Amino acid sequence: MSTKNETQEYLSRSQGLAFALGFLVIHAVSLALFPAQRTVISHVFSIVVVAIALIFCIARTRSATPDTRLYWQLFSAAIFLWECGSARAAWEEVVLHSDISQASYADLPYFLYGVPIVLAISLPERKERVPLFVWLDTVQISVAATLTYLLIFTTFPFWGKPVHPISDSVLAFAYATENVVLALAAALRLISISKEDMRDFFRTLNIFLWTYGFFAILYNQLDLILQGVMDYVALLSDVPFLVLILVLTVQQPAAKARASDDQQPLGQFIRHASPVFFTLILIALGLAVIRTHFYIGSGAIVLAALIYGTRVTVLQLRYMHSQRNLQEARDQLETLSLTDALTGLANRRSLDLSLDHEWRKNNEAHTSFSLLMIDIDHFKLLNDHYGHAHGDECLRLISASLQRSLRQATDIAARLGGEEFTVLLPETNAESAWQTAERIRTNVEALKLPHTQTELGYITISIGVATHEGQHIGAPSDLLRAADNALYRAKHAGRNRIEQ
């Protein structure tokens, strides 16, 4: 199986390389055969190679994992913007014969091409993504790119105003700076991630950006030197897109993301610092433009402040919401940890905490409190005869009756386990405890829950009562033991009774 995959990969690589070399050869031969049409030919080949690269990117988008699909969509959008710039440049130069003293419509998509690239580099992973923040970042990056264009050309094409003279070296430097910054940012993101499908995308993006950056700089420098033979140098502009096609042909998409997560400090820093960086860049560009375009520069600064304020507000609201949810979850877990799942009464842990608290409080105040230990008579026979489901239902009914029998809000009924219950009675002396126990016993007896294995024919309970008189003697476990001993006496005295 491995040999077959290697063979397929070799064939794909060979076919892709043959296509790339063939494309360059055909381009060069066409220029040589039709020297009078070199400008048209170069534009046609430029449009075609970018279109093919766009098709391959869209195809990869459709086969991408859910975690990387948006990244590939943004990359495809960048290639599409470049295609728009190429088509517009061809139209202006070949058809319209535009005056180069005017700002070109083609330069705008060339500048905006970097917007989806930057957004892809700074985009958080899918599980951490906030749609509103993605749109805010898109607005910031788009406005920043537009302001950069305005800063360089001093006008927009649709304004119809002549541009200030711009040297080719300055324009080449601006494009080179954009390419290097994008490539460096993509490289930082690549080394900060660990998920395989994400690495596939950023590996492809890095190969394209570094290749494009190198050949763009080489192209622009040769353009400044070799003005007379520039049509042949135009072959260099095909190379980055041919390399991209070759990579997408050879590289197989990751079928499934690895379980590891991007938790490296560098990756976290890039994700969280990017929005602040975008805002600072937007403010800086606004300040730079405000000297010549006051309202546009002022609007950019205000927009940056509004976006940053919106982001901070939303983050604060999300933080408060998450803290509230976390507290609710903690409270729910705390309740579950202190509640018996079957009956809804307090469980043994809750009883121990309450008993310890009551013990310490009453020792300080020198008051009394009591404890009732309750056991259902012949419960094992009930389970054996009627089944455990019926026994569970009886436990719930008896628990409800026990809870209704309590008079004070501070009284605590708990299930210790099986058919054993206990009731903690704060600030209750022995006489009052006995009265509460008798009320509980008679209320359960009044339920007349069937139990044919007993003499009475229905369920009864036995209760042991113990009272702590507020003396600094013993421990809470001693009170439990005393109540349990009293319960033992009640059961051996005939059941359905109370012992104190």
333: exposed, middle or buried (Cβ count in 10 Å: 0-12, 13-18, 19+): exposed
305-353 pLDDT, tens digit each: 898 888 888 888 888 988 888 888 887 777 777 888 888 888 888 888 8
pLDDT of residue 254: 57
The three-class DSSP label of residue 312 is helix
Give the Cα separation of 394 and 419 in Å (integer): 10
433-445 pLDDT, tens digit each: 999 999 999 999 9
401-428 pLDDT, tens digit each: 999 998 888 898 999 888 999 999 988 8
Give the Cα separation of 316 and 304 in Å (integer): 18
Give the Cα separation of 33 and 37 in Å (integer): 9
Give the Cα separation of 439 and 321 in Å (integer): 46
Q: Which amino acid is at 430?
A: A
Instruction: With cut-offs at 50, 70 and 90, classify the pLDDT of residue 265.
Output: low
Instruction: With cut-offs at 50, 70 and 90, classify the pLDDT of residue 56.
Output: very high
Better-scored residue on pLDDT, 223 or 434: 434
Residue 118: pLDDT above 70? Answer: yes
Scanning 156-238, the segments in alpha helix (DSSP H) are 168-191, 196-225, 230-233
Give the Cα separation of 191 and 362 in Å (integer): 64
Of all residues in the chain, the percent with pLDDT exceeding 70 is 85
Instruction: With cut-offs at 50, 70 and 90, classify the pLDDT of residue 258.
Output: very low
Average pLDDT over residues 216-221: 79
Give the Cα separation of 73 and 60 in Å (integer): 9
Strands laid side by side in the 420-425 sheet:
412-417, 420-425, 369-376, 461-468, 498-499
Cβ atoms 117, 145 nearer than 8 A: no
Residue 485: pLDDT above 90? Answer: yes
pLDDT of residue 3: 54
pLDDT of residue 111: 76
Ranked by mean pLDDT, which of 112-116, 131-135, 395-399, 466-470 comes out on top? Answer: 395-399
Cβ atoms 113, 87 nearer than 8 A: no
Q: What mean pLDDT value characterizes the chain?
A: 82
Scanning 113-162, the segments in alpha helix (DSSP H) are 114-122, 131-153
DSSP for residue 96: I
For each of the domains in the chain, give its residue range(s) and CATH number, in order of start: 2-329 (1.20.1070), 348-499 (3.30.70.270)
CA distance from start to end of the chain: 81
Task: Please enumerate in sequence order all residues whose Cβ is within 8 A of that of 241, keeping only pairs 6 or more positions apart, or say none.
Answer: 49, 50, 52, 53
Instruction: With cut-offs at 50, 70 and 90, classify the pLDDT of residue 101.
Output: very low
Instruction: With cut-offs at 50, 70 and 90, classify the pLDDT of residue 145.
Output: confident
